[in-house]
């Protein structure tokens, strides 16, 4: 992950490198111009020096002719050597004049030097006629070299004028380039400053808005998406996770609060309905008739079933129990109602034993079965059948409680599934717990909304289907 500090350092070095490259380019261009100008100036100096040395060499030769024994000989050889050196430079120096013309100029100088040498040589031989002739030729050559030098300089100046015009144009373009570079640099600096600052201020603005939403209690806002790969992205992801954790904690507290309210409500109903007169009357009346018509064994079994049912319904309502305990209570309830109504009611049980280890809230199945009996079967003169089926489907344990009783309208089904508050009749119930209470407690226990399915039609019965997750720890 890149850091803001690292990005700033990178951008700083990028700008420094750009400025250095620009500075080096300017230096190289300026250096080339200076070198070109200096070469032209050196060519003029070289031609002027050759012209002066030619004149000095003639004067020295003339002095040597007049006074051979003086120190003129040393001056002669020194000037001649310097002139020859400068002539050698002419062959390696670029000039704007024609190459043939420059070659003729060099040959003229070499001829002049040779004439001076012949003059000195004939002076040493004391051949006055010849050295006078050669001295005269050397003088003529010296004058011609001076004229040729001036002509070459004139030609060079003419050619140099175009170079100078080009130099002026390049200098003007160079100034325009500097102005363009200055404006471009400012624009680039402003652009990068705005672009980089936007990459910092925009995520911070999003975080500020989201923090204000959280301060107002809005914990379900849109997540903050920070596309930069630096500390701001980590800050945005951390804020999103924090808000999500706060929302989940808030939901969990709300669910726990509602569960506590339902438990207290059930505890109150337990206190009010611990001994339901109607239920106890029917049960005891049945026990009395059985004691009269049968022997003590059947009566004992009925009393045990009633005792088990009452003991389970009066237990700690907030405790969880296994599905096996709930099934046992339902079977005892079936036993009691079977004895009461004999052939009018039939019970069907189909249970996968491997599903019975699942833990559920206390009083989950028996209130549903009892509701099916009271509201579905008890009112039918011909009686009916109640079925309890438990099986496994994928990762869920499915509990189906169905009856072929009077059924209900779809509107009533939707009202129950939406947990709309309604006045429930509990006459004849052993616990006083209705459908909505059972459904809501299952939702809070498993922390799932879709946990109950219900189908019913008038005259065709009702089927309640519970979808219970096997692994509750994964949900938490």
Residue 312 is predicted with a pLDDT of 61
291 in any annotated domain: yes
CA distance 63 to 119: 12
382 and 470 inside one domain: yes
Question: Which CATH number characterizes residue 438's domain?
Answer: 3.30.565.10
388 in any annotated domain: yes
- Angle of CA points 331, 334, 336, to nearest 5°: 115
Domain containing 158: what range?
A: 4-193
231 and 306 inside one domain: no
Query: Which pairs with CB-CB distance under 8 Å and at least 24 residues apart come from 297-301?
Result: 298/339, 301/335
Instruction: Give the other-Cβ count within 10 Å of 200's Cβ.
Output: 15
165 and 68 inside one domain: yes
Residue 392 is predicted with a pLDDT of 93
334 and 407 inside one domain: yes
Count of the separate structural domains present in the chain: 3
What's the token pair of residue 298? 């059947």
Question: Which CATH number characterizes residue 29's domain?
Answer: 1.20.120.1730
164 in any annotated domain: yes
58 in any annotated domain: yes
- Edge-first strand order for the sheet with 345-351 is 345-351, 384-393, 396-403, 461-469, 452-457
Length of the chain: 476
298 and 384 inside one domain: yes
209 in any annotated domain: no
291 and 378 inside one domain: yes
Q: Are strands 384-393 and 345-351 parallel, antiparallel or unpaired?
A: parallel
In eight-state DSSP terms, residue 344 is: G
432 and 388 inside one domain: yes
* 3-class secondary structure, 225: coil
- What is the full per-residue pLDDT of the chain (476 aa) written as tens digits? 566 667 677 767 777 787 777 778 777 777 777 777 777 778 778 888 888 888 888 888 888 888 776 667 788 888 888 888 888 887 776 666 667 877 888 888 888 888 888 888 888 887 778 878 888 888 888 888 888 888 877 877 776 677 677 777 777 877 787 788 778 878 887 887 777 777 777 777 777 777 777 777 776 777 777 767 766 777 777 877 787 777 777 777 777 777 777 766 665 455 445 445 456 546 655 765 666 566 655 666 666 666 666 666 655 556 788 999 999 988 888 888 887 777 788 889 999 999 999 999 888 898 899 888 888 888 787 888 999 999 999 889 999 999 998 888 988 888 888 876 554 544 445 555 678 888 888 888 888 889 999 999 998 899 999 999 987 554 44
168 and 129 inside one domain: yes
Say how far residue 453 (Cα) sits from the centre of its chain.
Answer: 42
146 and 233 inside one domain: no
303 and 334 inside one domain: yes
In 3D space, the residue among 400, 393, 405, 409 whose CA is nearest the CA of residue 469 turns out to be 393
What's the token pair of residue 415? 């009202």
243 and 292 inside one domain: no
């Amino acid at each position: 992950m890149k850091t803001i500090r690292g990005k700033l350092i990178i951008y700083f070095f990028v700008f420094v490198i750009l400025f250095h490259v620009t500075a080096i380019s300017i230096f190289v261009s300026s250096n080339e111009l200076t070198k070109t100008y200096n070469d032209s100036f050196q060519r003029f100096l070289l031609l002027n020096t050759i012209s002066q040395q030619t004149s000095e060499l003639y004067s020295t030769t003339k002095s040597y002719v007049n006074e051979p024994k003086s120190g003129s000989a040393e001056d002669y050889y020194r000037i001649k050597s310097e002139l020859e050196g400068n002539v050698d430079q002419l062959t390696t120096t670029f000039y704007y004049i024609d190459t043939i013309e420059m070659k003729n100029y060099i040959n003229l100088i070499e001829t002049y030097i040779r004439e001076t040498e012949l003059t000195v040589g004939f002076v040493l031989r004391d051949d006055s006629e010849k050295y006078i002739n050669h001295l005269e030729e050397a003088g003529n050559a010296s004058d011609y070299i001076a004229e040729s030098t001036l002509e070459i300089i004139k030609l060079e100046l003419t050619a140099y004028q175009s170079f100078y015009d080009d130099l002026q144009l390049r200098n003007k373009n160079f100034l325009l380039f500097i102005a363009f570079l200055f404006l471009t640099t400012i624009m680039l600096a402003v652009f990068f400053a705005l672009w980089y600052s936007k990459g910092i201020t925009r995520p911070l603005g999003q975080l500020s808005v989201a923090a204000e939403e959280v301060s107002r209690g809005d914990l379900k806002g849109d997540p903050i998406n920070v596309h930069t790969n630096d500390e701001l992205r980590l800050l945005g992801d951390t804020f999103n996770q924090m808000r999500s954790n706060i929302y989940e904690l808030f939901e969990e507290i709300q669910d726990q609060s509602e569960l506590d309210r339902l438990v207290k409500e059930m505890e109150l109903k337990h206190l009010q309905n611990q001994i339901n007169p109607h239920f106890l009357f029917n049960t005891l009346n049945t026990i009395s008739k059985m004691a009269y018509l049968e022997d003590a064994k059947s009566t004992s079994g009925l009393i045990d079933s009633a005792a088990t049912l009452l003991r389970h319904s009066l237990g700690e309502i907030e405790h969880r129990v296994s599905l096996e305990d709930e099934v046992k209570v339902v079977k005892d309830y079936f036993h009691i109602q079977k004895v009461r109504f004999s052939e009018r009611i039939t019970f069907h049980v189909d249970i996968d034993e491997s599903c019975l280890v699942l833990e559920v809230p206390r009083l989950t199945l028996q209130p549903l079965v009892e509701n099916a009996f009271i509201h579905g079967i008890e009112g039918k003169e011909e009686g009916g059948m109640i079925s309890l089926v438990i099986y496994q489907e994928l990762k869920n344990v499915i509990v189906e409680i169905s009856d072929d009783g009077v059924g209900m309208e779809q509107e009533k089904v939707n009202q129950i599934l939406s947990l709309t508050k309604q006045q429930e009749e509990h006459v004849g119930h052993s616990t006083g717990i209705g459908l909505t209470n059972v459904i809501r407690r299952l939702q809070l226990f498993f922390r799932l909304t879709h946990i109950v399915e219900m189908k019913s039609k008038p005259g065709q019965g009702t089927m309640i289907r519970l979808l219970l997750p096997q692994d509750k720890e994964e949900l938490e």
